[in-house]
Amino acid sequence: MTDMQLLTYQPASSVGGVRTRIHAPAAIELVHPDLASGVPLMSALAQRQSSREFSEEPLLPATLGALLWAANGVNRPASGGRTAPSAHAFHEIDIYAALEGGVYRYDAPAHRLVLKRAVDARGMTGYQDFVGSAPLDLVYVVCAAKLLAMAPQQRDLFAGTAAGAIAQNVALYCASAGLASVVRGWINHALLADALSLNEDEVPILAQTVGKHATTLSSLAD
């Protein structure tokens, strides 16, 4: 058996992100989605694909609100149930939105974005050449403190499953809304945690880039 080759690489931009030149409000109140919008589910499934070429055009506020609600928003206010499943309703995955104007955490119950850092950290969310130019990079972060009641050997499995469900919700929303998206696991966890100012019990495990399709589309699909 041979040893696994270790890769050395650098993030797409400087450590910690670039101080944004755009005013970063302390919170962004999101628009609730139009539940009658979009294409039927089977059509969205047929159109779902990974795209790696993005326009730099910002997403509209209404689009951002609908996208995050689809990702893991509250769809049953009486119980606090979400659009994505979570074992025992621990909701251990926090969604961070890396925008040009700052890094925000999605507050699902209030359906708003809460500022974490006034930096453009999009370039810290991965190593692919399109990272940093697309308007939005979502980062899925496991909050270990929310899993203390779960058996240790189950935590990684269930957290990964929850993150995958959220990512698929985003991909289906993007297919329905005519947007491009791609899920990415090639991230530097330590550097990204620093860029997002995470605590020691918070670990980024997955990222997802979202934006409008580039004018000339030659993306790879999987």
pLDDT digits (tens, 9 = 90+) for 141-159: 999 999 999 999 999 999 9
pLDDT digits (tens, 9 = 90+) for 160-188: 999 999 999 999 999 999 999 999 998 99
Supply the DSSP string of 134-160, one letter for each residue.
SSEEEEEEEEGGGGTTS-HHHHHHHHH
pLDDT digits (tens, 9 = 90+) for 195-222: 999 999 999 999 999 999 997 444 444 5
For all residues of the chain together, what is the average pLDDT? 89
Mean of pLDDT values over 133-144: 96
Checking if the pLDDT of 132 tops 90, the result is no
Model confidence pTM above 0.85: yes
To the nearest whole percent, how much of the chain has pLDDT over 90? 79
Mean of pLDDT values over 121-144: 92
Strand duo 102-107 + 18-19: pairing: unpaired
Domains (range + CATH), the chain: 27-211 (3.40.109.10)
Checking if the pLDDT of 123 tops 70, the result is yes
Long-range contacts of the stretch 73-81 (C-beta < 8 A, 24+): 73/33, 73/108, 73/111, 74/108, 74/109, 74/111, 80/109
pLDDT of 16: 58
Mean of pLDDT values over 83-87: 96
150 backbone dihedrals φ, ψ, rounded to 5°: -100, 145
Local confidence band at 41 (pLDDT 50, 70, 90 cut-offs): very high
d(CA 162, CA 84): 7
Structure tokens belonging to residue 121:
């950290």
